[in-house]
Structure 1
Amino acid sequence: MHTSARWSALLLAPAVLLVAICFVVPIGSIVLRSFTEPELGLATYERLFADPTTLRVLGRTLLVALGAVGLCLLFGYPYAYLMTLVGPDMRAVLMVLVLVPFWTSLMARTFAWVSLLQRDGPVSALLAFAGVPGVTLLGTAAGVMIGMVQILLPYMVLTLSTTLSRIDRGLLTAAQSLGANRYRTFFQVYLPLSLPGVFAGSALVFILALGFYITPQLLGSPRESLIAQVIGVRVERLVDFAGAGGLSLIVLLTTALCLAAAVLAFRPVRAMLGQGGDRR
């Protein structure tokens, strides 16, 4: 037992060392500067939270990230559910369609959305045809959210499909044989069983959305900046490493709170599904 534990620790050591060198050290150094510059203390954070612009940017970032989660769930859940209903060949086709975006440059996809969302682009023409003329999504938070959803949707689908594919469809048949209609079976049997995937996919998409930089930079505008853009401006233009470190720590703490909330929300789900102990 002790030998196995030592081998596990030995195999884990390179990964831990890599994370420490590439993540902990650089992030720790910039966060440390937020407490030591211009002087030792919390002056940087007092300045950040006293600035209404910073609070607006943080609030906008959270809203856009939550909106991206909601839209990814709205489109991703039916798609992942469809993957469980079709045969192996069609499922492979649907999986390839999910994976294709990973084979394309994020920059190229974002530039494609620039042409789609611009004033004379196809999206504006479609909205004008639908009776909503003069709407330009490029340079708005809505346009940024559309671009983010297109990039983050595969993460939601892959997470959900893993969970949904493991649900025993015999449980649905049993529920229907006991008199439950199709809607009641879905909402009282299938949906609760899929909640682990919903929580995992939502947490993953939300965390990734918090740190988006290229997509808001190309599809948004300075008036609709998100937190990553503000950090970039403080580093590149203002040379304010203390402020950038403070904002980075705020993003890290928000991510940690998101993970903690997902874990706490998942506990009652595990209890409801009877997954807390040995199910054999």
Structure 2
Amino acid sequence: MTTATRSRFWHSDGRRLSGLATLLLLLPFFAIIAFVFIYPLAQLLFISFFEPKPTLDNYARVVANPVYTRVLLRTLWTAMLVTGLSVILGFPVAYYMSRVRGALAALVGVCVILPLWSSVLVRTAAWSFLFQREGLINSALMAVGVTSEPIKLLYTQGAVVIAMTHVLLPFMILPIYGTLRSIPNDYMRAAAVLGATRLRTFTEVILPLSMSGVASGSLLVFLTALGFFITPALLGSPQELMVATLVSQQIREVLDWPFASALVGVLTLFVTLLALIFSKTLRFDRLMGAQT
């Protein structure tokens, strides 16, 4: 390699890649993203605006019809519930993971990551068996005398929220855990030297510094919950219809691609606005859990 060629791909210190080399390395990744994400999304948005003719009628249907408006609001509400429950359940687990060491830390980590090794369909099917009228939950409730007969658990919004929280909980725990692990122990020791109790150290030192991990996990869980399909389809009823299921019905049963594309467009607009709000509130590196 000649000196001129080398200077194109390496900085003068010889240790860092140049901007051209970095761009060439990232080019395959950008090409895949453009092919499998940007192009199909652009096609859907084009259909929503120009099929069968240039019009906004497809978007007007989403806003004007109260049925579709309720589906959108229900989807947002379900995603918020799942995100809130994930924070409540995930933060203590992440905090405990960041405090323990050795074999116990490995055991807790395996328990958090293990559900990711099975598909969403398998975990959802397991919840459907638990929520049946003769399932384990109803049997346990009747055994302890809470209820005298089986109660309806399956095909309810509660079943959908619980199952989605279980599926998405690792995506909340891991960002919070990464942020908590990056907090220097010197901060806690300094707080103790200054006379702070453990509770005050947690509320005034650990909790504020962990907010970037909470924000990152919340964003991941919320955006993923907005487009969830398998769990609401298997555990929910038509009264708990969500946007992803509605889009599937419009494409597979009604064959109304323009309206389905308009639903995708509305959801994409909301996700984009949410991402912009987060980018204005938190810098990207802090959103990913880095400390400054």
- TM beyond 0.5: yes
Q: Does 1:74 align with 2:88?
A: yes
Say if 1:156 and 1:205, in contact at 8 Å, map to a contact too: yes
Distance 1:126 1:191 in 2: 37
The residue that corresponds to 1:254 in the other structure is 270
The residue that corresponds to 1:5 in the other structure is 19
Secondary structure, aligned partner of 2:146: coil
Q: Which runs of 5+ in 1 are unaligned?
A: none
Match 2:137 to one of 107, 111, 123: 123
What letter matches 1:22 in structure 2?
Answer: V
**Count of aligned pairs between the two proteins:** 271
The residue that corresponds to 1:152 in the other structure is 168
Distance 2:42 2:67 in 1: 25
CA change 1:198–1:2 in 2 (3 A) is farther
What letter matches 2:50 in structure 1?
Answer: T
* CA distances 1:232-278 after superposition (whole Å, capped 9, x unpaired): 000001111111111111111221222222223325xx7xxxx6xxx
Identity of aligned residues (%): 39
What letter matches 1:244 in structure 2?
Answer: A
Q: Which runs of 5+ in 2 are unaligned?
A: 1-6, 10-17
CA change 1:76–1:237 in 2 (3 A) is same
Alignment of structure 1 residues 220-239 onto 2, 5 Å: 220-239=236-255
Match 2:42 to one of 17, 28, 31: 28
* CA distances 1:79-117 after superposition (whole Å, capped 9, x unpaired): 010011111221111111111111112211111100101
How does the TM-score come out when normalised to structure 1? Answer: 0.91
Match 1:45 to one of 59, 66, 73: 59
Tell me which moved more, 118-127 or 207-216.
Answer: 118-127
The Cα of 1:39 is off from its aligned counterpart by 2.2
Secondary structure, aligned partner of 1:180: coil
Secondary structure, aligned partner of 1:82: helix
The Cα of 1:77 is off from its aligned counterpart by 0.5
Say if 1:127 and 1:135, in contact at 8 Å, map to a contact too: no
Say if 1:57 and 1:227, in contact at 8 Å, map to a contact too: yes
What letter matches 2:96 in structure 1?
Answer: L
Distance 1:48 1:258 in 2: 20
Say if 1:163 and 1:194, in contact at 8 Å, map to a contact too: yes
The residue that corresponds to 2:3 in the other structure is none
The residue that corresponds to 1:166 in the other structure is 182
How does the TM-score come out when normalised to structure 2? Answer: 0.88
The Cα of 1:176 is off from its aligned counterpart by 2.2
Say if 1:144 and 1:216, in contact at 8 Å, map to a contact too: yes
Secondary structure, aligned partner of 1:79: helix
Match 2:220 to one of 186, 204, 212: 204
Distance 2:59 2:8 in 1: 46
Distance 2:136 2:220 in 1: 31
Q: Does 1:107 align with 2:107?
A: no
The Cα of 1:159 is off from its aligned counterpart by 1.1
Say if 1:71 and 1:149, in contact at 8 Å, map to a contact too: yes
Secondary structure, aligned partner of 2:282: helix
The Cα of 1:132 is off from its aligned counterpart by 5.0
What letter matches 2:155 in structure 1?
Answer: G
* CA distances 1:180-216 after superposition (whole Å, capped 9, x unpaired): 2222111111100101100000000001101100010
Distance 1:264 1:163 in 2: 20
The residue that corresponds to 2:30 in the other structure is 16
The Cα of 1:127 is off from its aligned counterpart by 4.0
Distance 1:38 1:187 in 2: 57
